[in-house]
Amino acid sequence: MDEQEDYLGAEFKGIAAELWSHNAGWWQEGFTEGADPEYTEQLLPLVERLVGPGRLILEVGTGEGQVLRHLSRTAPRELLVGVDPTPEQLGLAAERSQGELYLRAEAGSLPFRDACFDTVVACLVFEHVTDLEGALAEVARVLEPGGGFVFLLNHPLFQTPDSGWIDDQVLEEQYWRIGRYLEEKRTVEEVEKGVFIPFVHRPLSRYLNAARACGLVLEEMVEPAPPAGFLALAPEYYEARFVPRLLALHLRRS
């Protein structure tokens, strides 16, 4: 597959659904249950801090449920519900559940009544969602006024298609190259040998303005340095500690 191709909406949605089903095991083995230092050292503690004392919590694109399981252990909650369109993720989420509930649904069509959650979480999901406005409108609809949206993305500036480390042996320079940041594009990227994952790239302003249009207003933005356990995996890239991989937005429903 050509990672430069820009797919049409319906075609991309079909390909994306197949790829998520096909790669569910890859995700579960490599990124959950303590396998990934970015989750254990950074993502899970950050989500926990931003969710705070939330009690009625929905996670959109929940995968096998690691974020909700973490939230269930860290404070008293009344209801934890996760939705995901991928059956292979939901099966394992149900097996691993510590009381959280899981339903099959996608971000653009949430099967809940208006204003029934005080917190919505989306962790590394919206960079795979085609209809940004539709999905954000759904988040705003199911949140009660004053509710919080904890919104984590692969950093849209630094994770643009064609970004990556350049190790220039001649000039003895090492730097992170940024691809075409302003070009919105649907791509299928080979994230490791033989593993193809669908992405939708958009600039940060698209996310913030679309959220603002639904009444989701920025309260805090976090761009953390990669955690120590991640940096230790490739110590030769010293500059990596100055390039954030993650963007966290804490938005509030007005």
User: Interface with ligand SAM includes 119 (CB under 6 A)?
Assistant: no
Q: Which is nearer to ligand SAM, 96 or 212 (CB)?
A: 96
In angstroms, the CA 202 to CA 208 distance is 11
Tell me the window of 85-93, 174-182, 185-193, 237-245 that interacts with ligand SAM (CB under 6 A): 85-93
- Say if residues 198 and 26 touch (Cβ distance below 8 Å): no
Structure token pair of residue 182 = 């302003």
- Name the residue nearer to ligand SAM (CB basis): 88 or 118: 88
Asked if 188 touches ligand SAM (CB under 6 A), the answer is no
Question: Is residue 64 within 8 Å of 86, Cβ to Cβ?
Answer: no
Q: Which is nearer to ligand SAM, 118 or 138 (CB)?
A: 138
123 binds ligand SAM (CB under 6 A): yes
Give me the least distance between CB of 172 and ligand SAM, in Å please.
Answer: 35
- 8 A C-beta contact, residue 62 and residue 102: yes
- Residue 58 engages ligand SAM in binding (rule: CB under 6 A): no
Q: Are 207 and 149 in contact (CB under 8 A)?
A: no
> In 23-117, which residue ranges form alpha helices assigned H by DSSP?
24-31, 37, 44-51, 66-74, 87-96
Instruction: Give me the least distance between CB of 180 and ligand SAM, in Å please.
Output: 23
Q: Which are the contacts of 96, defined by CB distance < 8 A and separation ≥ 6? A: 64, 65, 69
Instruction: Give the total residue count for the chain.
Output: 254
Which of 42, 62, 119, 163 touches ligand SAM by CB under 6 A? 62
User: Which is closer to ligand SAM, CB of 99 or CB of 145?
Assistant: 99
Query: Which one of residues 36, 38, 100, 106 is an interface residue with ligand SAM (CB under 6 A)?
Result: 106
Q: Closest residue (Cβ) to ligand SAM?
A: 63
Residue 205: how many other CB atoms lie within 10 Å: 10
Q: The tokens 């919505």 sit on which residue?
A: 120
Pairing outcome for strands 101-104 and 117-123: unpaired
Please give the torsion angle defined by the CA atoms of residues 156, 247, 196 and 25, in that order, rounded to the nearest 10 degrees: -170
CA distance 198 to 186: 7
81-89, 166-174, 181-189, 218-226 -> range binding ligand SAM (CB under 6 A): 81-89
Query: What SS3 class is residue 140?
Result: helix
Candidate segments 49-57, 84-92, 168-176, 217-225, binder of ligand SAM by CB under 6 A: 84-92
Does residue 156 belong to the site contacting ligand SAM (CB under 6 A)? no
Nearest to ligand SAM of 26, 174 (CB atom) = 26
The residue (of 86 and 119) whose beta carbon lies closer to ligand SAM is 86
Kindly list the residues in this chain that would bind ligand SAM in the complex (CB under 6 A).
20, 27, 60-63, 66-67, 84-86, 89, 106-107, 123-125, 128-129
